[in-house]
Amino acid sequence: MMNLDLSFYNWTLFTNYIQKGLIFSVQLTVIATVGGILVGTVLALMRLSGKPWLALPATAYVNTMRSIPLVMVILWFFLLIPLLIGKPIGVNLSAIITFIAFEAAFFSEIVRAGIQSIPKGQVYAGQALGMTYSQNMRLVVLPLAFRNMIPVFMTQTIILFQDTSLVYAIGAYDLLKGFEIAGKNFGRPIETYLLAAVTYFLICFTLSRIVKKIQEKVAIIR
C-alpha cells in the first residue's frame, strides 16, 4: 500500500513553488492564444486568397508545423534562434515565440474553416455593396466567422494550456516545473505530481464547462 504524506500541502507550497510557474503558464497561454489567432488569421487569409504566391507558402507552413511534435519545435527554436541572431534570448521568450509560431498553424485551420462556413450570400451581399475583398473580409465575413469560432478557439486554448508543460524540455519555470521542484525539495515527488494532476484537471475541467456554456449561447444566437 502506498504511504502518502500530504502534510506539506499548504499555502506556503503554493506561494514558494507553484505560484511562479502558474503565472508563467497562464501568461504563455494568453500570449500564445492572442498571437496565434492573429498570425493564424493572416495564414488563413493567405490560403483563401486564391493567389498561389500567397497560398502555397502558407499551406507549406501550416502543414509543416502540424506534422512536427511540439516538443521538437520547442527544442529547435530554443537552439536555432540564438544561432541566427547571435545571442541567447532566454527560455521564456523562446517558449513564447515557439508557441505563437506553432499554435498559429492550428488556429489558421480553425479560422479557415470558420470563414468557409459563412454562407456565400453574405459575401455576395458585400460585393453588391461595392466592397473590396479586404473590406468584405474585415467588415462582413470575419466578424460572423469569429463569433462562430469562439468555442473552438477556447477549446484550442485549453489544449494549449496543457501543452505548456512541455517547456520543461528547455528548463522554463512553468506550473509543472514548480510541482517538480517542490517534490524534490520536500522529498515527496509522488504527492506533488498527484497534486499537479488534480490542479491541471480542475483548471481544464472548469474551462471546458465555460466553453460549453458559451457554445450554448452561440447556438442560441444563430
Residue 211's SS3 state is helix
The number of residues in the chain equals 222
Query: What does pTM read for this prediction?
Result: 0.90
Q: What is the pLDDT of the chain when averaged over all its residues?
A: 89
Give 180-194 pLDDT, tens digit per residue. Answer: 999 999 888 888 999
Residue 121: band (very low, low, confident or very high) from pLDDT cuts 50, 70, 90: confident
Ordered alpha helix ranges (H), 49-174: 52-66, 70-85, 91-116, 120-128, 133-136, 142-163
How many C-alpha atoms does 3 have within 13 Å on its Cβ side? 0
**Mean pLDDT score, 65-81:** 91
| pLDDT at site 67 | 94
Residue 80's SS3 state is helix
How far, in Å, CA of 108 to CA of 117, rounded? 14
Give 126-172 pLDDT, tens digit per residue. Answer: 888 888 778 888 888 888 888 888 889 999 999 999 999 999 889 89
How many C-alpha atoms does 119 have within 13 Å on its Cβ side? 4
How far, in Å, CA of 108 to CA of 65, rounded? 11
Residues 39, 40, 41, 42: is their CA dihedral positive or negative?
Answer: positive
- 15-22 contact pairs (CB < 8 A, 24+): 16/182, 17/178, 17/179, 17/181, 17/182, 17/185, 18/175, 18/178, 18/179, 18/182, 18/199, 19/178, 20/173, 20/178, 21/173, 21/174, 21/175, 21/176, 21/177, 21/178, 21/179, 22/175, 22/178
Question: Grid coordinates in use for 13?
Answer: 507550497
Residues 123, 126, 128, 133: is their CA dihedral positive or negative?
Answer: negative
Question: Grid coordinates in use for 32?
Answer: 500564445
Task: Write down all domains in the chain, each with its CATH number in brackets.
Answer: 16-221 (1.10.3720.10)
